Amino acid sequence: MYWREWLKTMVWALIILGILNSWVFNISTVKGQSMQPTLVQQERLFINKLIYKFHSPARGDVIILHDPVLGAQPTSKLLVKRVVAIGGDTIEIRDHQVYINQIKQQEPYTDTIVGDADLAPMTVREGQYYVMGDNRHQGMSKDSRIFGTIGLTQIVGRADFIIWPLSQTALL
């Protein structure tokens, strides 16, 4: 009799966890080097999947998105990037520095200038986002410089904090 109650509790817990995982939050593992030095390989991130139902992504948000090259298939690869420009912004990479609306950006989360080619001024369309990895060394990030801007439908959620390893736990 005891095991039936235990089994019923476990089934309900799994159902509730499945619903929360599908609609509210997710845990994601960092793979690759595109977000170094902010994030490193194998760190676990808490992903808030609900946040963008209430407001739009903002400059500086670290987001998880479906790889635009592969599309939003259930098995598609997820990328982690930083929103650097939003709809209406003009982004430019000049002399290996990022400029938004002609203002040179202070980016304390990077450890180098942009190692790749400069980018001519480009205005981001409304409802679109320009994302980049924090690793600005040449060829280290697959981001909007390669696949262009992204829409809200490609965004899975916002990475709110590192949950593992415990020694690296931090808000993003």
Active site residues: 34, 81
> How many CA atoms does the CB half-sphere of 85 hold within 13 Å?
29
CA angle 70, 71, 72 (to 5 degrees): 130
